[in-house]
Amino acid sequence: MKKFTEFYSTHKDRLFGYLLRKTGNYQLSADIMQESFVKYLEMYKTRERSTALLFTISRNLLIDQFRRQRPETEFKDEKHSSSNGQEQQYLIREEARRVLDAIQQLDKEDADILSLVVTSNLSYAEISKVTKLSEANVKVRVHRSRLKLRDILKEVER
């Protein structure tokens, strides 16, 4: 159990960040993160620890959640507030909301791959296992998604 505790401590923040970027909902992200670790432990407790497998489980739970209901695009970060002034916190929240809205305008799979790259610290090879795409295809989609995201954000600024 000690190894799993270390595994949890190492990956919980990155997994949560990925889920938060995908859902925009703090509570839903926390719930899916917990469920991902529980399923991982129940199903693969004797297996070597695999970050890619954890993210695959999480991604599948997220897909199931989206199928059950439309995701909320609300971003609440009360638990992530810092000692910055209220104005600075407001600007950070608005920028995060703007980026999340832009990400949701991308193709769902492209947004998912981009979120995996940004938050998970997985290699392209591991992301290719999670998404069942070739590593080259993952790289191309990440590049194209970043370009689309940049264009969407520029269009919003106008």
Q: Cβ–Cβ contacts within 10 Å for residue 45, how many?
A: 10
This prediction has a pTM of: 0.57
- Using the 8-state DSSP alphabet, how is residue 105 labeled? T
Provide the 3-class DSSP secondary structure of residue 127.
helix
pLDDT given at position 58: 92
pLDDT given at position 122: 84
pLDDT given at position 101: 84
73 CB-side CA count, 13 A: 11
| Residue ranges in the chain whose pLDDT is less than 50 | 71, 73, 81-82, 84
Distance between CA atoms of 25 and 34, rounded to whole angstroms?
Answer: 14
134 Cβ neighbours under 8 A, 6+ residues apart:
128
pLDDT given at position 66: 82
Give the model confidence (pLDDT) of 99-117 as tens digits: 888 888 888 888 888 888 8
pLDDT given at position 90: 78
The full set of domain ranges for the chain reads: 2-72+85-157
pLDDT given at position 70: 56
% helix, strand, coil for the chain, step of 5? 80, 0, 20
pLDDT given at position 76: 52
**146 closest CA partner among 121, 123, 113:** 113
Angle formed at CA 18 by CA 63 and CA 99, multiple of 5 degrees: 100
- Hey, what amino acid is at 37? F
What kind of fold does domain 2-72+85-157 have according to CATH?
Butyryl-CoA Dehydrogenase, subunit A; domain 3 (1.20.140)
Distance between CA atoms of 106 and 147, rounded to whole angstroms?
Answer: 11
Q: How many residues does the chain have?
A: 158
